[in-house]
A and B are shown apart, each in its own frame.
Chain A
Amino acid sequence: MSANHTTYGGGTPGAPAWEQDNYLNHTHGLKSWLTTLDHKRIGLMYLICILASFLLGGLFALLVRTEHLTPGRTIVDADLYNQYFTLHGAVMIFLFIIPGIPAALGNFVLPLMLGAKDVAFPRLNLTSWYLWVIGAIFSVVTIALGGVDTGWTFYTPYSTTTATHVIPVTLGVFILGFSSIFTGLNFIVTIHKLRPKGMTWFKMPLFLWAVYATALIQVLATPVLGITLLLLIAERAMGIGIFDPALGGDPVLFQHFFWFYSHPAVYIMILPAMGVISEVIAPFSRKTIFGYKFIAYSSIAIAAFGFLVWGHHMFTSGQSALGNMLFSALTFSVSIPSAIKVFNWLSTMYKGSISLKTPMLYALAFMFLFGIGGLTGLFLGALAVDVHLHDTYFVVAHFHYVMFGGTVIAFLAGLHYWWPKMFGRMYSEKWGAVACALIFIGFNVTFFTQFVLGSQGMPRRYYNYLPMYTSYHQISTVGSYIMGLGFVICAIYLAHSLLAGKKAAANPWGSVTLEWRTPPIPPHDNFDKTPLAGDPYDYSQVRWDAKTGGYVWVDEQSSAAVAG
């Protein structure tokens, strides 16, 4: 690579160069965004879209919880309630969680971390975003037509017989699947082919390992969901007799196909979250990451094991006893690489110099909540216990601890961690802590209660319930309101940060991965010169600089001194 310009833009006196020309203002107008090939802009476009989806899914969640304030009807009738929980699940999973970290944060960060100018296939990257938008439109159309009530799992034979709008929503999910496949494909090739000199596989930031493992699953599992949904559509529209028992089909085959994707999809959701946590824990402990290779390999191990455990969703579907046993044993084995990660994060913090900035607060919340989510997964993986807990609120609580307590919390950690790099602004640490506390408390009030409800036998997805469950449901609903308040505060202070936040330093946290070598807001081309990659967790490479209110790179300082 040959170097060229070192300044960005014209250089009006006063404003630093990076403010005059960066990826946000490099070109202007809506069209320049909608046709952009810049991974950072595409990442931001994803971010806006998935946050809107999160709002939509969250509103459905609040409606579901509100309905449960009393047994029987509280605000809506049963049919509408069925649509609410279906749309809550479908929107949150397919529109928010799956693309959340990889497509939004990953798109922004991944090439920067690699010291690259872009992902391998920028046009394909934009295509993925458009596919996401088209998929989302299908979901919105479904809602406009009157919703769907199958649950996000679309189980046959109900999904082939219900009168609600299964086909548009499954088509939407099919399209979203291809969006996800293309993102994964792009990331795999980028990581393989665009790493800078000096960055061997084992010098990659752990987030990249996590995204890589995720991308493998996206590429290898999502097509199976695609064909499953096509078969479901064909069954519903044409009656092909694959899943419909009335035509000689096997509805349990649908469950196999569906979970062959959807269990690995759980790791599409959680692996990038783990990657974020690895990136956050180390700099805020000012200590190199403990057990780098174990964390890296465990990502791959989780991805691999993830393909072998889908049957644990079907212990009560009439699977063979031998199948059940194998799936149960394999399910337990997945907990090993997950636990390795948690132990390594804890060891990283041990004797570290921990600073409780907002990203770190979320990372700590993640470890607590993911710990509970992961361990309760073992309850459900145990055959005998699962018979009792299957399809109860215990399952609901478990996967919310993993999906929300894990992925959403890590998403928030990552959002707060990379926020200064995305927008060049800081947010209020005080309000950040308040919102994090509210979300953490609200979450536990909502979902810990549901463990109790589930173990007492409250079935999931039911509209009505026995009076004995009333107080638990009410506590849970109040918890969801507390969480909602936390998110409102979060939205307010982040919006304030965009408009009037303090200007960020180029490296406010003192991290040493390559994205922090760019100016506070990266330029259009990321790097003039491919940076030389060092150890991503060696914090002696930077030192605090009171003048800029951030960290500066020791090597840049010394070369600047030499040059001066």
Chain B
Amino acid sequence: MSGHSSHPDYLGHHYDTPEQQFDSGSLGMWLFLATEVLLFAGLFCAYAIYRSHHPEIFLYAHQYLDKNMGALNTAVLIFSSFTMAMAVRMAQLGKNNHVVTLLTITLLCGFGFLGVKKVEYEAKWKHGLLWGKKFHPEEHSAGAHGTEALHDAGVTTAAGVTTAAGVATAAGGAGASHDTGASHDAAAMPAGATDHGAAPATGGSTAAPVGINPANADPMAVRSNIAPPPAGPAGLAENAFEPKQKVNSHATPKERPSNVHIFFGIYFLMTGLHGVHVIAGMSAIAWVLWRTMKGHFSAQYSTPVHLVGLYWHLVDLVWIYLFPLLYLVG
């Protein structure tokens, strides 16, 4: 500012050299990334605590996440990290045309990620697979719900495919709730039931016994308000599954030990916070894209591209942890 003949425009007046400015910017961004990691760390910590206290919730509920969608998004973000890294390199070389192309691709990847996420969220919303108080899966037509479970059961061939699966086909008779995907649902169900039974510590779970004892008609009775009671052996499979959901319903607060909604609460918090970061990252990319097109950067100075690149990599990295932790439990 004050008459340095060698003070280029891009250099802040309080810096002596471009190197000093670049180093300061990088250190600042790394520190900021550290705070971002710590922000997510709180959620990872909550995840770890609830997962270790209630593994059955996670094993059961993760099946309702769509692994294919998750994997697709992982691929999209990894690819976008690659294009971002290339953009930073090209910026350093001063090849601004390439930078514009690469940043645009990165930005489009961001939109792609959000689009897939939207599809996933909508499916959850439709089936009432939401957090805490909003978790009302049984109130929704479980047609698509079943399809989702179908996905998962198909892909994972989940842990507990037991004899119940065979009987379960008839559970389609459970009507409203489980028409199309019933058999697949059932395939996944016993896993839930077993887990549930395995963790009575969470508070007086009666689900497992009910599941294997068709004679116990009590939950059935309650259930029948919502769907026609299945007859015969079908009831067995139906039972194996339904208490799982039923105990989450608000009608029976005493029997809420399984608390499956906690998984969805954590899922929405983690992916939601991450989504906010994706949007922030995309805004930053749009900003450097605009500046590149305006010709603000050159081989001598492209620090903002570099810093935004660092940020975008962190956003991707967080997802790389979220994907297995949420989608690939087991």
Contact = CB atoms under 8 A, between A and B. Distances in A.
Interface of A: 1-2, 4-5, 111, 116-122, 124, 181, 185-186, 188-189, 192-194, 219-220, 222-224, 226-228, 230-231, 234-235, 238-242, 244, 246-250, 253, 257, 525, 528, 530
Closest CB pairs A-B (n = 8): A227-B42, A248-B259, A240-B265, A239-B133, A239-B132, A117-B14, A223-B38, A118-B14
Nearest to A120: B24
A249 B36 contact: no
Nearest to B32: A185
A181 B33 CA distance: 12
A192 B27 contact: yes
Contact of A228 (B12, B42, B259, B268): B42
B225 interface: no
25 contacts: A4-B2, A118-B13, A120-B14, A121-B28, A124-B28, A185-B32, A188-B27, A189-B31, A194-B20, A219-B34, A220-B38, A223-B39, A223-B41, A223-B42, A224-B41, A227-B40, A227-B43, A240-B261, A240-B265, A240-B266, A242-B46, A248-B257, A248-B259, A253-B46, A525-B13
Nearest to A119: B14
A228 B273 CA distance: 13
A248 B256 contact: yes
B7 to A, nearest CB: 9
B134 interface: yes
Nearest to A196: B16
- Residue among B5, B24, B257, B266 with the most chain A CB within 10 A? B24
A247 B42 contact: no
Given A194-B14, A222-B35, A223-B35, A120 B28 contact: yes
Interface residues of B, number: 45
A248 B266 CA distance: 13
Contacts of A116: 14
A193 B46 contact: no
Nearest to A240: B265
Nearest to B257: A248
**Chain A contact residues, majority secondary structure:** helix
Contact of A247 (B34, B40, B133): B133
Most chain A CB within 10 A, of B1, B2, B34, is at B2
Contacts of A2: 3-5
A525 B133 contact: no
Nearest to B264: A240
Given A118-B14, A241-B132, A247 B261 contact: yes
A483 B95 CA distance: 66
Interface string B8-23: 0000111010001001
A457 B34 CA distance: 44
Contacts of B49: 250, 253
Contact of A525 (B1, B28, B40, B256): B1
Contacts of B5: 2
Interface string B163-179: 00000000000000000
B299 interface: no
A122 B12 contact: yes
A41 B201 CA distance: 60
Interface in B21-63: 23-24, 27-28, 31-32, 34-36, 38-43, 45-46, 49-50, 54
Contact of B2 (A124, A241, A525): A525
B200 to A, nearest CB: 15
A2 B266 CA distance: 56
A223 B14 CA distance: 29
A219 B14 contact: no
Contacts of B16: 1, 530
B131 A238 contact: yes
A248 B131 contact: no
